[in-house]
Structure 1
Amino acid sequence: MTSGKTAATGHRPNWPRGGGPKARASPRVSVTDGAAGTSGTTASEHTKRFRTEVEAKAWSDTERGRVVINQWVSPDVGADTFRAVAEQWIRTKNHRKPKTLAGYRSILDTLVLPRWGDTPMKGITYPDLSAWIAGLSVNGSQSGTGLSASRIRQTHQLMGAVFKYAVKAGLASKNISAEIDRRHDLPETAEAEQHYLTHAQLLDFAGEAGRFETMTLILGYCGLRFGEAAALRRRDVGDKEITVRNSATYVQGQGIVETGTKTKRTRRVPVPGPVWDRLKAELPGEPDAFVFPSRKGGRLPLGEYRWAFDNALKAVQPRARATRQQEIADGGEATTPDFPTITPKGLRHTCASLAISAGANVKVVQRMLGHATAAITLDLYGHLMSDDLAGVADALDKAMAAAQKTAA
């Protein structure tokens, strides 16, 4: 049995005496804001008038039916502005990482609130919201240019989160944002092409990175995220092993902030022998000292490393092109691979590629890279494992031939 309160608001509709709205030309319903019978509550009454008793009865039957199935919504619901509800919502997210909160704040302040901040929740309609989202790809940015597909999807996701909160809190009757079809109404994000370095390319590249040579080798052979490497302290480095506990990330308005890892889990990563020899020789003495500090001794900002990274790329790419041209001139064919244009994240991809080529299975790669699940690892690098199927077949051929020879 239902209590007669509405699911969305907890309000109880007070029908006129006689069991509900009467089938007359002007039936009237009063809605009590608060639990029925609570001392001091006041009722706000909403009048609905009709031209005929038939229309009035149809309306009263529909409204009474909604009460029975707990779907009746007070006309007062949704009067709060989107800004007021969004501020309530974001206060419930203080447990999130500073960078995540800063991202929410940026989307709200630069995109959502300028358009919807002063609009009541019930005043946001599907046609208006759909048209606005479609326009973001044309002139959604503050400079008047279009937003990227990923930014548009983030904006839609945030509005959906605010509406979801509003419905649960009784501040909106429905989640209008959920009516936007993510598959058909939002732009598709282009899948970023992944580039991988060979062993020779990685060693050559690291050699051009100056004082960041060892760090570059750690990124390429151990698979750490840049923020994880920047947060490493002497106490995190054991014998041929790194314990990844934290990550350092730049947050707008706060500077570099140190938090837990992306998955909030600590992991241990082995360091290959030649890389360990370099790392061991450069380790600081103090347990709390950064392994890869900035020039000033503090946390290393991405920009400082990126300067050395980009300069290394400028050095190795022309050299690789010249080598290929010489090979073509000498023998008609280039055997040296192109040197791809990569970002620091490309070193993490390189680590996965080299590990898989060395025979590591998906669970090993997952633990090394710190992915939450093996499914994430497969989604990112499953195609590399497919490339190794031919190698598996060759190994099986040799094993079978050896077994047949033994049996004979």
Structure 2
Amino acid sequence: MGDIRHSDVQSWISKLSAEKGATTVLRAYGVLAGILDVAVKDRRLGSNPARGVNLPRKMKKKHAYLSPGQISELAEASGDRALLVLVLSYTGIRWGEAAGLRVRDVDLSRRRINVTENAVEVGGRIEVGTPKSHKKRSVPFPNSLTRPLQQAVGGKDPADLVFPGADGDYMRRTRVSSGSRSWFKSALSTADVPAMTIHDLRHTAASLAVSAGANVKAIQRMFGHASAAMTLDVYSDLFDDDLDDVATRLDHMLSVTNVVKMWSDSTRKQDQTPADHFV
């Protein structure tokens, strides 16, 4: 490790960037930098040669949003996974959170889903843990989903999974079997909606929440973001229309003031013709 120079790391990053995407490069760099940080703490190195190198910028991907009508078509095309698609689209919970959702976490009377567990597939194995933010949260769901959720949990024990896989255990990734087309891609094609990932349904939920009038703090709590600033950073494009709304509201307040009336009177006098003064 003592032979690694800052220029070596920069050269490696530059070469890797020419072959891989920014996300892959940043992850690889993070592993190297983390190892060297430990070496510095153990006093094996005086400083970390990986720190301060020029890194590729990760371009922000444009989110895909579905309309309620498109969600309905996608749900119908998803067959027995229709309720899963609706829950993901209208609550914004992650795939792993839906996979780990248990009967006891569904509060039908309050119309809440309590997100307490996350089950994701890593290297072919299901890793079960806490949600991504490591914090439990309560997410509202539309009343229209109460009956289908009631049917989904009916007759099950509190510890049973709401959306189990074919074998009764945790759901796996959307691919049905090796070499076959995923059920989600097939549903997208059948419903004739834009190409997207199943995680994009979370973005759709955010757009629907904003359209319904939810404020930034409400969306932050709903999605489990660390801060409202993070919510705004991720979904800043959804709040563009709010600026127009602010301008409209401000105009309403300004229009009833004496200042605007004064300008209106002044304009009216300037528009008068000479003949008007003799009337």
TM range (shorter): 0.7 to 0.9
- The aligned counterpart of 1:126 is 6
What is the CA–CA distance in structure 1 between the aligned matches of 2:166 and 2:246, rounded to whole Å? Answer: 47
Q: One-letter code of the match for 2:29?
A: H
Q: One-letter code of the match for 1:245?
A: T
- The aligned counterpart of 1:217 is 86
> How much has 1:398 moved relative to structure 2?
7.3
**Cα 1:366/1:126, change in 2 over 3 Å:** same
Return 5+ residue gaps in structure 2 as ranges: 257-279
> How much has 1:126 moved relative to structure 2?
2.0
What is the CA–CA distance in structure 2 between the aligned matches of 1:243 and 1:215, rounded to whole Å? Answer: 16
**Cα 1:401/1:125, change in 2 over 3 Å:** closer
> How much has 1:287 moved relative to structure 2?
1.0
- Residues 174 and 184, structure 2, Cα contact 8 Å, conserved in 1: no
- Residue 163 (str. 1) matches residue 36 (str. 2): yes
Residue from 336, 341, 355 that aligns with 2:195: 341
Q: TM-score, normalised by structure 2?
A: 0.83
> How much has 1:383 moved relative to structure 2?
2.1
- SS of residue paired to 1:256: strand
Aligned residue runs from structure 1 range 246-325, under 5 A: 246-252=117-123, 255-284=125-154, 285-304=156-175, 307-317=182-192
- SS of residue paired to 2:107: coil
Return 5+ residue gaps in structure 1 as ranges: 1-120, 139-145, 318-338, 403-408
Q: Residue by residue, what CA displacement relative to the aligned partner does 1:262-315 show, whole Å, maximum 9, x if unpaired?
A: 111110111101122211122142111110011111100113478221111101
The count of aligned residue pairs is: 250
> How much has 1:388 moved relative to structure 2?
3.0
Residue from 233, 236, 242 that aligns with 1:379: 233
What is the CA–CA distance in structure 2 between the aligned matches of 1:398 and 1:277, rounded to whole Å? Answer: 43
Q: One-letter code of the match for 1:273?
A: N
**Cα 1:304/1:136, change in 2 over 3 Å:** closer
- Residues 195 and 342, structure 1, Cα contact 8 Å, conserved in 2: yes
> How much has 1:132 moved relative to structure 2?
1.9
- SS of residue paired to 2:114: strand
- Residues 234 and 291, structure 1, Cα contact 8 Å, conserved in 2: yes
Aligned residue runs from structure 1 range 128-207, under 5 A: 128-138=8-18, 146-180=19-53, 185-207=54-76
* More contact order relative to length (CA 8 Å, sep ≥ 6): 2
> How much has 1:394 moved relative to structure 2?
4.9
Aligned residue runs from structure 1 range 41-56, under 5 A: none
- The aligned counterpart of 1:81 is none
> How much has 1:157 moved relative to structure 2?
1.9
**RMSD value, Cα:** 2.2
- Residues 214 and 278, structure 1, Cα contact 8 Å, conserved in 2: yes
Q: One-letter code of the match for 2:244?
A: A
Q: One-letter code of the match for 2:221?
A: R
Q: Residue by residue, what CA displacement relative to the aligned partner does 1:127-151 show, whole Å, maximum 9, x if unpaired?
A: 222222211134xxxxxxx222111
- The aligned counterpart of 1:96 is none
What is the CA–CA distance in structure 2 between the aligned matches of 1:216 and 1:395, rounded to whole Å? Answer: 37
- Residues 91 and 205, structure 2, Cα contact 8 Å, conserved in 1: yes
Structure showing greater radius of gyration is 1
- Residues 23 and 58, structure 2, Cα contact 8 Å, conserved in 1: yes
- SS of residue paired to 2:163: coil
**Cα 1:132/1:304, change in 2 over 3 Å:** closer
Q: One-letter code of the match for 2:65?
A: Y
Q: Residue by residue, what CA displacement relative to the aligned partner does 1:169-188 show, whole Å, maximum 9, x if unpaired?
A: 111121111141xxxx2222
> How much has 1:400 moved relative to structure 2?
8.9
